[in-house]
Amino acid sequence: MEIERKFLIDEKAFDYTSYPYKDFTQGYLCTDPVVRVRREGNEFFLTYKGGGKMVREEYNLPLNKEAFDHLIKKADGNIINKRRYFIPLDKYTVELDVFKPPFEPLIIAEVEFESVEEANAFEMPSWFKKDVTHDSAYHNSTMSKMKLKPL
C-alpha cells in the first residue's frame, strides 16, 4: 500500500539542487488501472497502481533494459522525463520531481507515510506552497494523457 501526499513547492524559497538525484523516464501502458514502465537511473520497473489519490495499492516488478526498451515504445500518450531529488525532512524523505519538457517548469514534492493518520498529521514546511494530493491533474498518469501543443 502506498500512502503519499503531493505538494507544489516555492522553488525560490528552497535550493534543492545540491541534493542527490536520479533521472527518470516513464510511460503508461494503461491509466485505469495504472500500468507503468519506468527507468530510474540504471534500474527498470513495471508498476501497477490501484485506484485512489492518497492511499492506493502499488506493486513494482523489476525489468531488464531490453524489456523496458520494448515496453516504453508501447506506451500511450506522453513519455514523462524528470529528475527526482531526495531531500531529508525530519524522519521523511521528500522526493522532489523536477519535470523536463514539455512539463517544465512543474515541480512536485511527494512524501510517503506509514499510515493515513500520519499523512493527515503532516505539517508542510514553509517551502511547500500547495497541497495537490487530491488533484488528479498532478498525477503522472493524468499528465501522460494531456494533449500538448506542438513546439
Catalytic site positions = 28
User: Looking at 32-116, which runs of residues are DSSP E strands?
Assistant: 34-40, 43-49, 55-56, 58-63, 76-89, 92-99, 107-112
Do strands 76-89 and 92-99 pair parallel, antiparallel, or not at all (unpaired)? antiparallel
Helix (H) or strand (E) holding 72: helix 65-72
Distance (Å) of CA 84 to CA 8, 93, 134, 147, 149 = 14, 11, 21, 24, 25
Find out whether 57 and 3 touch, Cβ atoms under 8 Å: no
- Which SS3 state, helix, strand or coil, does residue 84 take? strand
Residue 16's CB is within 10 A of a number of other CB atoms, namely 18
